[in-house]
Amino acid sequence: MSRPFGDWPTIPPVTEETKKAFKARLRAVIAWTGTVGLLAFLYFTTDRDAVAAAIGRADPVLFIATAFIAVAATYMTDVFTVKFLLGRVGIKVGFGEFARIKGASYLLNIINYNLALVMMAAVVKKRSSKGWGAAGSPFVLLNFIDLSVFSIIVQAAIWTGRSPFDRAPTMILAILTLGGVLAAPALCLISRIRNAPGWFGRVVNHDIMAAFRYIGPWSLLTMLAFRSILILEYGAMNLFFMRSFGVSVPPLTLLFFMAITSFIAMVPISVSGIGSTQVAMRGLYGPFVPDGVAPTAASKIAVVDAFSTAGIFGVLLIRVVLGIICMRDVSRYISEDGEKS
């Protein structure tokens, strides 16, 4: 017997790929919605005339020179350190080739941080003939190394009395960052456990832990030193950005604040930390704006909004141009891989 309105349409089964795609789209929607909402909040809660005045008073030569020099320095240091890490875990990639890969990742990072990691892992997979897990493993390890570096900075700031927070949140921060300091070496030790039972054994022996197993203690310490240099370069960039707006912050305090805003940027509520970090910077840097530059609390916030927005979008603009230049070659690497497979 036929149905009066025909057969019901067949609903395709929900696969793991469908679930992953849905989660990825949901994260993107949340991040972009958060970015727009936070930027709207900043726009409607700041003194826009004071922001314009602060930008007009800024030293354009110092600001522009800082932006170009800092992007070039951090780019080269980032490429060198990641290439060093790849070599230590058995993946050989040329410096020039990885420089293009890293440059292209800046462009994708604006859209989605995970998309940039997937692109880098795709090229590494091609060059090393490793699976997706092993190709992505060095970048997972790199995130933990960066977490350790930032955590060490926070610990140093806390024990030298640089924390602006009350005793209770400072102690919580000290405990959390102690875990951050130990995370990378602890995972390297855990990844070497053999014959671990059950689900723990499957996690420990997974390819995503390959880089943690292969890197030695001296190479790990060397990576911590190299990534510390990169963080110091970012610190110098922010220091000169603020000085171009007439604001001065003690270097260790600045590094402490950078660590805090970097942790905030990792929270997936905005794209590349745009908006979320700027809101946090108001409370952190506002007290350091001199009265001669901004006499009122509202005008101090406006100055912070001015240098944070100018700094973020100034660096972003340069990296977009770099990403566009590099993306052509990286697309060729990936398309060649597809043709061979």
Chain segment 262-277, per-residue pLDDT in tens: 878 777 677 767 788 8
* φ, ψ at 269 (rounded to 5°): -110, -5
**Residue with more model confidence, 112 or 26:** 26
Q: What is the pLDDT of residues 160-196, one digit of tens each?
A: 877 777 888 888 888 888 888 898 888 888 888 777 6
Task: With CA atoms as reference, report the closest residue to 153 among 228, 77, 249.
Answer: 228
pLDDT for 274 equals: 76
CA distances (Å), 171 to each of 52, 158, 167, 178, in order? Answer: 39, 9, 6, 10
Q: Which amino acid type is present at position 274?
A: I
Higher pLDDT, 158 or 63: 63
Range with the lowest mean pLDDT among 203-212, 222-231, 267-276, 322-331?
A: 267-276
Q: What percent of the chain lies above the pLDDT cut of 70? A: 80
pTM of the entire predicted model: 0.82
Q: What local confidence, expressed as pLDDT, does residue 99 receive?
A: 87
Please report which confidence band the pLDDT of residue 341 belongs to, taking 50, 70 and 90 as the band edges. very low
Amino acid symbol at 295: P
Residue 66 predicted with pLDDT over 90: yes
Q: How far is CA 83 from CA 68, 88, 202, 226, 291, in A?
A: 23, 9, 28, 11, 46
Q: How many residues does the chain have?
A: 341
Four-CA torsion 99, 72, 318, 50, nearest 10 degrees: 150
Whether residue 231 is predicted with pLDDT greater than 50 in this model: the reply is yes
How large is the average pLDDT for residues 217-231?
A: 92
Q: Assess whether pLDDT exceeds 80 at residue 125.
A: no
